[in-house]
Amino acid sequence: MTDETSEPTEPGVDTGMEAANDLGEFRSLRGDVWRQFRRHKGAMVGVVLLVLITFGCVFGPMLLPFDTKTPVVTNANRGAGWPHIWGTDNLGRDSFARALLGGRISLAVGFVAMAVSILLGVLVGVLAGFFRWLDGLLMRLTDLFLSLPLLPILLVVIVLFKKPVQDSLGDGLGIFVLMVLIIGGTSWMSTARIVRGEVLSLKEQEFILASRSVGTRPMRIIAKHIVPNVLSPVIVAASIGIALAILTESAVSFLGLGFPIELPTWGRLLNDGRNRITLNIWLVAGPGLLLSATVMSVNFIGDGLRDALDPKARSQG
């Protein structure tokens, strides 16, 4: 079941093939992971694509010679052409620049909400799986969150807290924080369940027992043995989570409760362009394409990371 380097050796000192290489320093995990990650073609494509999209969204609107805010009605509803490669919207604004602008918020919401959701999910999952006495409580909490209808909650929370949070943090940042917390706080449950299941089976493995027999404290066991071994499903959950967060944000924006109108997001652009798709398909296809490309590259990166973090896949790759 193991590879050919692991034939049983004779008793006594095994002068393996690497005996000659004198190791001053033991191999570092980070170096190994990076070496393997670079070999994963899809992941490298994903990284390049994601970096391109991110840079485009951050710097693009500044570099393009278009005003993304002021309406120019005479310029409205142009099809794709020059200089507006994706045409213009109903107010005459360049839709390519608008799509890049929308990416700023969508990407930020996607990544931060995913981080919140994964952190919460791993925390709850590990605690529930590792500490028996917390299991019932935390899993019932998870069930509770799963049974909550997301949209009504979102509406209520936004209506209740939008004003005070915006007052203290400013319009844009306020709604961003609120949005990220709500999306992250309502999407951690599947991660928690996956992680709990993994932890339950890991906990019975003998290497955990070995660690306990040394007297390792629970928190260090979790950090050194449990978390590294649940990373694979977590990374998969994370790459799906980003897409989910971006989509949830667009759903909220569609209901008119998301970001203010002057801050476009991919979701809002899609919804706005929906009615004019026959006039200019790029109103929808543009942001949609960017959204799909982002989700895809994140999935590729997740795939590459998962392989790179698994020593078994590493030695075969």
Partner 1 sequence: MSADALTQATDAAASPGDREVLLRVRDLKKHFPIMKGIIRHRVGEVRAVDGISFDIYRGDTLGLVGESGCGKSTTGRVILQLEAATEGTVEFQGRELTSMRGNALRKVRPHMQMVFQDPHASLNPRMTVASIIDEPLFEHNFGPKAERHAWIEELLRLVGLSPAHANRYPHEFSGGQRQRIGIARAIALNPDFVVCDEPIAALDVSIQAQVVNLLEKLQDELNLTYLFISHDLSMVRHLADRVAVMYLGKMVELGPVDELYDDPQHPYSQALHSAVPLPNPVSESFRERIILQGDIPSPANPPSGCSFHTRCPVAQPECAQRTPEWREISPDHWVACHFA
Least CB distance from residue 71 to partner 1, whole Å? 56
Least CB distance from residue 10 to partner 1, whole Å? 8
When the beta carbons of 15 and 275 are compared against partner 1, the nearer one is 15
Least CB distance from residue 13 to partner 1, whole Å? 6
90: phi then psi, degrees, rounded to nearest 5: -70, -10
Instruction: Tell me which residues in 182-241 interact with partner 1 (CB under 8 A).
Output: 205-207, 209-216, 220, 224-225, 228-229
94: phi then psi, degrees, rounded to nearest 5: -65, 125
Instruction: Tell me which residues in 89-128 interact with partner 1 (CB under 8 A).
Output: none
226: phi then psi, degrees, rounded to nearest 5: -80, -60
Binding mask 1-40 for partner 1 (x = CB under 8 A): -xx-xxxxx-xxxxxx-xxxx-x--xx-x-----------
Q: Can you list the alpha helix ranges (DSSP code H) found in the chain?
A: 29-39, 41-63, 95-130, 132-147, 150-169, 171-185, 189-203, 206-214, 218-221, 227-254, 266-273, 282-309, 311-316
Size of site (CB under 8 A) for partner 1: 43
Helices 189-203, 95-130: inter-axial angle, 10-degree rounding:
40
8 Å CB contact between 85 and 96 = yes
8 Å CB contact between 269 and 102 = yes
Least CB distance from residue 117 to partner 1, whole Å? 24
When the beta carbons of 31 and 65 are compared against partner 1, the nearer one is 31
Least CB distance from residue 173 to partner 1, whole Å? 38
Least CB distance from residue 146 to partner 1, whole Å? 20
When the beta carbons of 9 and 275 are compared against partner 1, the nearer one is 9
Least CB distance from residue 139 to partner 1, whole Å? 14
- Rounded Cα–Cα distance for residues 271 and 283 (Å): 9
Question: Looking at 88-96, 159-167, 272-280, 304-312, which segment touches partner 1 (CB under 8 A)?
Answer: 304-312
- Rounded Cα–Cα distance for residues 90 and 205 (Å): 62
When the beta carbons of 163 and 220 are compared against partner 1, the nearer one is 220
Using the CB atoms, write b or e for 1-35: b if 16+ within 10 Å: eeeeeeeeeeeeeeeeeeeeeeeeeeeeeeeebee
Q: Does 299 bind partner 1 (CB under 8 A)?
A: no
Instruction: By CB under 8 A, name the binding residues for partner 1.
Output: 2-3, 5-9, 11-16, 18-21, 23, 26-27, 29, 205-207, 209-216, 220, 224-225, 228-229, 309-312, 314-315
